[in-house]
Amino acid sequence: MKKAILATVVILVLAACGTTKIERQATRTFKGEWTLNNITYPGSSGFVDVVLFEDSPTNCFRNSTWKFVPNNNKGVYTIYGNKCSEGLRNFVWSVQEIDANTGLYDFLLKPVAEGENARKTSKGFRLSLKRLTDTDMVWEQTVSFEGKPFTIRFNFSKSI
């Protein structure tokens, strides 16, 4: 009897730690290729050019292509442009629902080198997934600039 109770508790704990139906649905919506059309800075006046994901300046990310593979949560993005270090970058990603009422999610992006185990990489970037539909997606990242919060907004469209 004790073993049956213990087994039930273990199953319940594992189920509680798993992803929600909403998170799984969001993960499936990511599947495919996306284009990063525009990067804006809400609430900021003037031009700002920041290095994104400790990789390249903003202008190198505009019109970059992103591919998300949900069955293993891996992906690749490709950046282009003059004075940019062009090419493919690998990453792993995950989605976590943070508020069921508002439908807001956290999105974790971890750049990894080719063949590198993501678990051995401690560097990652947490973003807010503000909108996700079958055709468009919006991320926001809040960073500190001159000691104040600064928001970067990423606007994507799904490639057909």
pLDDT given for residue 45 in this prediction: 72
Cβ burial, residue 145 (10 Å; 0-12/13-18/19+): middle
Cα separation of the two ends of the chain: 55
- Cα(95)–Cα(118) distance, integer angstroms: 16
pLDDT given for residue 8 in this prediction: 37
Residue 154 · residue 131 · CB < 8 Å: no
pLDDT given for residue 61 in this prediction: 93
pLDDT given for residue 7 in this prediction: 37
pLDDT given for residue 30 in this prediction: 83
pLDDT given for residue 104 in this prediction: 61
- Cα(61)–Cα(75) distance, integer angstroms: 16
In 3D space, the residue among 54, 48, 76, 31 whose CA is nearest the CA of residue 152 turns out to be: 48
- Where do the domains of the chain lie, and which CATH numbers do they carry? 19-158 (2.40.128.280)
Q: Which residue has the tokens 């891996």?
A: 74
pLDDT given for residue 72 in this prediction: 87
Largest CA distance in the chain: 69
Residue 61, token pair as written in the block: 């990310």
The pLDDT profile of the chain, 160 residues, written as one tens digit per residue, is 544 443 333 333 333 344 454 555 666 788 899 999 999 998 877 667 788 998 998 889 999 999 999 888 899 999 988 888 889 999 998 887 666 665 567 888 999 887 776 666 778 899 988 888 899 999 999 888 778 888 999 999 998 6
